[in-house]
Structure 1
C-alpha cells in the first residue's frame, strides 16, 4: 500500500529527529528535496538550518533545490513547477506566514503539492509551512501583520483539523479553541516549537522532538 507521509514542525526548523526521518523517507542519498521559502534578506545564510541533517544523511547538496520569490515578491511559477516535478521530498519553510499563504496555497503550487503527496512523496512544513497543510489555514494573532486571527483555504492534505504552531511559546490554546468553534472544525493540534507531529496516510503516527503536541477538541472550554 502506498504510504503518504506528512511532517508538521512547530517552529524549530533544525529538529534532528524529524529531519532525519524526512530525508530518509525522501530517498536518503538518492533524495531530491525541494525547499519552498519566502524572501528575506540574508536567506542564503539560513539555509543550513534546513539542510544540515539532510546532508548528514547523505543527501547531495546539488539535489537540494530552493523555490523562493525575489526581493520584489515575484516567483517564476514555470521554473518552480519543474523543480517540484523532480522532487522526491518537499519541505515548506517558516517565516512570514501571510506571504507563504499568498504564494503556496494558490495554483499551480496547490495542485502540484497535492499530486506529489498523493503519489507518495513526503511533505514537511515548519511553522508557516505546517499551518498551510489542512483544508483550512488558521493564523494566530501572533502571526499576522494586524495582530488579528485569520483563516482561509489551505492545501488540503489534511481534513477536519486545524494546526497551531509555537503552541506553548505563544500560549495559543484559546486561539486554537476559538478557531475550531468559528470554523466548525472538530479538532486541532497545538505543536510546540521543538516538536514535530508525523502523519502516515493522514493519521497521526508519532511525535518527534523534545517538546509536546496537544490535541484539542472543539468545545473544550
Structure 2
C-alpha cells in the first residue's frame, strides 16, 4: 500500500527543504507536478517561487502543469482534471483563501484530489492550500474579506484536527483555540510562515524550515 504524503506549508511557498522533499517524493526527474493556484494580476511572475526548487531537483519545467482560472474566474475544468489525474505530485498554492476554498473544495476537484492523495500521490499546500485540506477549514479573521473568522467543510484529507497558517505572524493562537472549542475538535497545528508540517498516513512525521510548528490542544488557553 502506498504511503500517503502531505506537506502543510505555513506561508512561504519557497521553503527550500520542504520543496526539495516534495519534489523528490513526486519523482524528481520523472515527476509531473500539478500546481493549483488562483488568478491574480501578474501571476506568471510569481511562478518561480513555486517551481525553482523543483526544477533545481531535476523536475523538467515542461512537466509542471499550472492550473489557474482566467481573470473572470473561469477554469477549463476538463483540462485541469486531466492534469491532476496525470500528476505524480500536486501542490495547492497560496493567495486569497476564500477563492481557493470556493474553487478547489468543490467537485470535481474535491473528489479528484482525495482519490489521488489516497492512492499515494504526494500532496502539498501552502497557506490557503494548506487550510483547505482538513475536514473542517478554519479561516482566521486576518484571512477573510470581512475580518471575521470563518469555517466550512474542506477536502477531508485530515480528520479531527484544524490547521492555522502564518501562525506566529498573525498571532493566531486565540482563533485556533476558539475554532477547536466551537467545532469540538481535539487539537490543531499552528504553522509559522517559514515552517512546514510533513505527515505520512496523516501522522506528523517531520517539520521543515527555520520556524515553528505548534500543536495546540482544545483545552489550551493563551
Same fold (TM over 0.5): yes
Q: What is the CA–CA distance in structure 2 between the aligned matches of 1:152 and 1:123, rounded to whole Å? A: 21
Correspondence 1:106 to 2:137? no
The structural deviation recorded for 1:146 is 0.0
Q: What is the CA–CA distance in structure 2 between the aligned matches of 1:178 and 1:219, rounded to whole Å? A: 10
Using structure 2 for the length normalisation, give the TM-score: 0.99
CA RMSD of aligned residues (A): 0.5
Q: What is the CA–CA distance in structure 1 between the aligned matches of 2:141 and 2:172, rounded to whole Å? A: 9
1:106-126, Cα deviation, whole Å (9 max, x unpaired): 000000000000110000000
1:141-162, Cα deviation, whole Å (9 max, x unpaired): 0000000000000000011000
Correspondence 1:44 to 2:44? yes
Q: Aligned residue for 1:9?
A: 9
Q: Aligned residue for 2:207?
A: 207
DSSP 3-state at the match of 1:110: helix
Q: Aligned residue for 2:174?
A: 174
Aligned pair count?
A: 221
Q: What is the CA–CA distance in structure 2 between the aligned matches of 1:68 and 1:181, rounded to whole Å? A: 35
The structural deviation recorded for 1:219 is 1.9
Correspondence 1:127 to 2:127? yes
Q: Aligned residue for 1:55?
A: 55
1:191-215, Cα deviation, whole Å (9 max, x unpaired): 0000000000000000000000000
DSSP 3-state at the match of 2:80: helix
The structural deviation recorded for 1:79 is 1.0
Q: What is the CA–CA distance in structure 2 between the aligned matches of 1:75 and 1:138, rounded to whole Å? A: 25
Q: What is the CA–CA distance in structure 1 between the aligned matches of 2:103 and 2:57, rounded to whole Å? A: 30
Q: Aligned residue for 1:73?
A: 73
DSSP 3-state at the match of 2:151: strand
Using structure 1 for the length normalisation, give the TM-score: 0.99
Q: What is the CA–CA distance in structure 2 between the aligned matches of 1:2 and 1:120, rounded to whole Å? A: 5
Q: Aligned residue for 1:139?
A: 139
Q: What is the CA–CA distance in structure 2 between the aligned matches of 1:76 and 1:62, rounded to whole Å? A: 19
The structural deviation recorded for 1:170 is 0.2
Q: What is the CA–CA distance in structure 2 between the aligned matches of 1:46 and 1:2, rounded to whole Å? A: 32
Name segments (4+ residues, structure 1) moved above 4 Å. none
